[in-house]
Amino acid sequence: MVDQAPPEARTSRRRLRACHECDWLVALPPLRPGQRADCPRCGHTLATRHRQPAQRSMALAMAAMVALLLAISFPFVSFSTSGVGNRIELTHTATTLIGFDQPLVAIAVIMTIAVLPGLYLLGVMWLQLGLLQGQPLPASRTIARTLAHLNPWMMADVFIIGALVSLIKVADLAQIELGLSFWAFCAFALLLLFTTQSIDSDWMWFSLAGEPLAPDGARTGTTAAGQGLTGCPTCGLVNRLEAGGGGYCRRCGERLHARLPHSLQRTWALLAASALMYIPANVYPIMTTTSLGHSDPSTIIGGVVELIQMGSWPVAAVIFMASVIVPVGKLVALAWLCLVVKRSSELNASHRTWLYRLTEFIGRWSMVDVFVVAILVALIRAGSLMSITPGPAALAFAAVVVLTMLAAMTFDPRLIWDTPLPRDRPATQGTTG
């Protein structure tokens, strides 16, 4: 029953949502499968309805978990040159880094490509199993709340790009053979993406815990903060803030704030830290290649130049975009948003919100270079004939990626819209797109 009846069919009450990006308060309309509700002010998607969401998510999560188990159980890739070769498994990309005194990078690699995605899939299956049985299983609310926080840190799709770049870089130097694990991991990355997109959080939270009555006196077509309200960033429920401007969500227990505390100060601090780390990430070598006893350290820019000299322009462009353009662009974009946020108006707020969405989306793709190092270090192990070791820039660059992602998370985009409405614009009822 839970997989057949959407929330609109199980309640006649008005269901309010406060946009997470502009704080506009709207009422969700009835949605059919394939439809979505967008904020009429900034265009942010408030809810997306899927057909048979519990069955869909369960099937995709189970398939993805099978693919992940195959990916960690068989050889990933092997190489051979001059009668010497090596074969690695997926987990070797992390364990080899530990042998080179890079435990933090190793932890970042294994957590983002296997551990966190595996926990996410187990959580999805646990939740959907309870919903399909008509009775949520224990700790379902805690698990559902955790899933929303895991999503940005799962990077299986980024790892695939890193693997392809790695293989192209060594294709001219050795014979490469792809194992069953490689193809299984490609399927896993695709299925994981489909699983995350299949989650109908509005449907799921209504099925887990219903929906309490909207706060008395709530008016749509205006901001939530102006009425002492806020929308839960996890389950979407509109709550009335306590006297101090905080509180906890009545449905999922998430911590609530009218605006993220010290948002600009925290964003500036994280940006400053990432800018400092970006200097050693480019000055020091990210990896050292040893061939016939001769060692050749390579920086990020040096690796791009080397790829261009080899004629691999597309790969060089990918590395340059992910390792140079994206981190620098994200630093500049977030710094600019912090500077102009207090001078925003409704005329430019939508463009600045779009810029924020872009910086939040592209940040994780900078991990491509870290994954390239992890794969090559594990794979190219042929002694003095040919080997690759990680450089100190690997840890610095991984720190840049993490810090810029945290900076985007701590920046509150609602600050962009915290300006008075034009006097000639009347407040209107929220609609959907």
pLDDT in the model for residue 429: 38
pLDDT score of 18 more than 90: yes
Q: What is the dihedral of CA 41, 147, 403, 342, to 10 degrees?
A: 20
Of 106-115, 289-298, 328-337, 371-380, the poorest mean pLDDT is in 289-298
Q: Is the per-residue pLDDT at 84 higher than 80?
A: no
Q: How confident is the model at residue 292 (pLDDT cuts 50, 70, 90)?
A: low
pLDDT confidence tier of residue 426, bands split at 50, 70 and 90: very low
Could you report the per-residue pLDDT of 239-281, keeping only the tens digit for each? 999 887 788 999 998 999 989 999 999 999 999 999 999 999 9
**Phi, psi angles (nearest 5°) of residue 18:** -105, 125
- Rounded average pLDDT over 103-126: 95
CA–CA separation, 162 and 324 (whole Å): 15
Q: How far apart are CA 229 and CA 241, in angstroms?
A: 6
Statement: residue 195 has pLDDT above 90: yes
Q: What is the pLDDT of residue 384?
A: 61
Instruction: Count CB neighbours of 69 within 10 A.
Output: 13
Residue 431's pLDDT band (cuts 50, 70, 90): very low
H runs (alpha helix) in 284-365:
300-309, 313-320, 326-340, 346-362
pLDDT category at 423 given cuts 50, 70, 90 is very low
pLDDT value, residue 346: 66
User: Buried b / exposed e across 140-155, counting CB within 10 Å, b at 16+?
Assistant: bbebbbebeeeebbbb
pLDDT category of residue 395 using cuts at 50, 70 and 90: very high
> Which pLDDT band holds residue 382 (cuts at 50, 70, 90)?
low
Predicted local confidence at residue 427, as pLDDT? 37
- DSSP symbol at 342: G
- Pairwise CA distance, residues 278 & 266, whole Å: 18
pLDDT of residue 418: 86
Tell me the pLDDT of the chain averaged across its residues.
87
Sequence-separated (6 or more) residues with CB below 8 Å from residue 281: 300, 393, 396, 397, 399, 400
